[in-house]
Amino acid sequence: MDDRERISETRPCLQAKGNDSVNAGHNTWNGWDDHRSALYQNADRFARDALRADTAERDVSGEFDRAGWKQCAEFGLLKMPVPQEHGGEGKPLSDLLTVMEGLGHGTDDQGLLFALNAHLWTVVLPLSIHGTSAQRARYLPALMQGSSVGANASTEDEAGSDVYAMRARAERDGDSYVLNGTKSYITNAPIADLFVVYATVDPALGALGVTAFLVDARTPGLHKSVPVEKMGMRTALMGRITLTDCRVPAEAVLGKPGRGVSVFDGAMEYERGCILATTLGAMQRQLEQSINHARTRKQFGRAIGKNQAVSHRIADMKVTLDAARELIHRVGKLKDDGKSIALASASAKLFVSEAYVKFSLDALRIQGGRGYLTGAESERQLRNSAASVLYSGTSDIQRTLIASQLGL
């Protein structure tokens, strides 16, 4: 027995095959206690059993899994972070991130999970935190039940990273505001029932003019586009909206007039630190698939995993995944302890998004030619991973945020 074989006997989680491998890995990983392990395994099992398995076909057609969305809502996902006094479950953020990771392992439909994340972090939570009693009573039940889909309308063609350079206007007219402008790159836009729209009441005020509005998709003057074609995350529908003399009551303001920055920054702080929790599960899938392929694929008379070029790549993937987990779940712990997550969220988003791209490329290299074929999960994951360095703030923006938090 050589050293490599002797070491492998001490790694049952990596030797296990199929879905049992993740359970073994998490029961022995230092970051998990019995409660968290049970949450993960329950979410993993739910995703495998309840969510559709035809992701490859729907990826080609760009089809959103509405039934899967409803199933996730019935599972309780969309209620978890909402306080009990608002009709939710009031679960710790750490629990939600654990469930998200389990879902990411149980299904390969990263588009559906991305759409759920967008709905949760940029609509449900801001409404729960900043909404009035009347706003919460009107919108939260349907959003938590999955019968209503939320979307965040902040980005414009000329206001992406510099979101506060937005041109969308909100002019006060009596007891109403009249909205005009165009919003782009909106996840869920083609199917959304409720938009959180950001517009400025006075461009001269800069960030102090930005105001958030709750706008029903049926409001006259709001026009939704058809889904736009994109490279990855194709089962999450993206589009744009055009606001043309779209009149909303003053009661539609989320938070306070001119305080949209507070609403937006709070939502982004949650999103950038949490949206990649499902990616951890996807990376775990990739790791397991890479290990199994390396153990079964033979070249030159032996398994390719016996070659250091392959085994060391997989070892690096394992270390990367462990580091990514620590960064994401640190966000949950800090928030649950009542501490700031500003620096932790930016750090997690930067590291995990960049790691996911390399991770996906390494998984493709291990799979070889078969992994490059259209429809292969490794090909789809590589396309999906590319988006992670863009959404919720690009990697360069995360570096800027980190530097700012360090006093630079």
Catalytic residues: 271
Short-list 386, 323, 378, 350, CA closest to 114: 386
Distance (Å, rounded) from C-alpha 157 to C-alpha 140? 30
Say if residues 28 and 15 touch (Cβ distance below 8 Å): no
Say if residues 347 and 355 touch (Cβ distance below 8 Å): no
**Number of continuous H segments (helices) and E segments (strands) in the chain:** 17, 10
The residue behind tokens 């909303």 is 248
* SS3 labels along 101-152: HHHHHHCCCHHHHHHHHHHHHHHHHHHHHHCCHHHHHHHHHHHHHCCCCEEE
Distance (Å, rounded) from C-alpha 305 to C-alpha 294? 4
| Integer CA distances (angstroms), 28 to 22, 231, 290, in order | 10, 37, 20
At 380 the three-state DSSP class reads helix
The tokens describing 248, both together, are 């909303």
Phi, psi of 380 (to 5 degrees): -70, -40
Residues contacting 133, CB < 8 A, separation 6+: none
